[in-house]
Amino acid sequence: MNRELTSLSKKDMLTADERFYLLLLSNANNILVEKKLAILKETVPSVRRVAVLWSPLTKNGPIQLKALETFAPELGLTLIPVAFAKATDFDQPFSAIIGSNPDALMILSWSLTNSFCEQIAKRAVENRLPTNYSNRRHVLAGGLLSYGVNVPRHVSTCSHLCRQNSERFEPI
C-alpha cells in the first residue's frame, strides 16, 4: 500500500460521497454519451447513420466512442466515427463527414470542438445535419440541440467542494 496514503489522517480523507461526486463530475460526459445519442434519435426518428466527431488525443474520446459503438445498434444506428485531432485540420474532418452522407451528427465534447463551436454549427446547418452537441455554447452559436454537463454549475460545485475541504489539507 502507498505509504503516503496510509499516513493521511481521517480528517484528510474525502468522504465517500465527496469522492463519488468528484468522480461523477470528472466523468459526466462519459456517462451521458449514450443518453445524448438516444436524444438525437428521439429528436430525429428517421436517423440511421450518425457521424461522430471525436478526438483520439483525449483520454475520454476513445472511451466515449466505444460506449457509442456498443449502444448504437440497440437504437438501430450505424456510427461513422470521424477523428478531429488538430485545429489546422478542421476542413478535412468536416469534408469526411459530408462525404460519408450521414443523417445526423454528434459532437463529442473536448476543448477543440468547443473552440470551433460557431464553425461546426454553421457547417451543420449549411449541410442540413441535425446535430447534438455537448454544451449550450454550440446551440447559442446556431446548433440544433445539446445534452451534457452544465459547465458553469460543474465548476461552481467543484470550487465549493475545494473551499469546503481546504482547511482539511496541508498545502504542498
The pLDDT value given to residue 8: 42
Alpha helices in 13-116 (DSSP H): 16-26, 28-43, 60-71, 91-99, 111-115
In whole angstroms, give the CA distance from residue 76 to residue 73.
5
The pLDDT value given to residue 24: 56
Among 26-35, 37-46, 107-116, 136-145, the range with the most confident prediction by mean pLDDT is: 37-46
- Decide which of 61 and 15 is more confident: 61
Lowest mean pLDDT among 22-26, 27-31, 104-108: 22-26
C-alpha cell at 144: 440544433
Candidates 150, 122, 157; CA nearest to 135 is 150
- DSSP code string of 40-53: HHHHSTT--EEEEE
The pLDDT value given to residue 2: 42
Q: What percent of the chain has pLDDT over 90?
A: 23
Give the dihedral sign, CA 136/137/142/148. negative
Look over the chain and give the mean of its residue pLDDT values, rounded to a whole number.
76
The pLDDT value given to residue 1: 41
CATH number of 28-166: 3.40.50.2300
Length of the chain: 172
| Residue type at 93 in one-letter notation | P
C-alpha cell at 37: 445519442
The pLDDT value given to residue 4: 46
The pLDDT value given to residue 6: 45
**Cα diameter, the chain:** 59
Name the residue ranges covered by the structural domains of the chain.
28-166
**Confidence bin at 132 (pLDDT 50/70/90):** confident
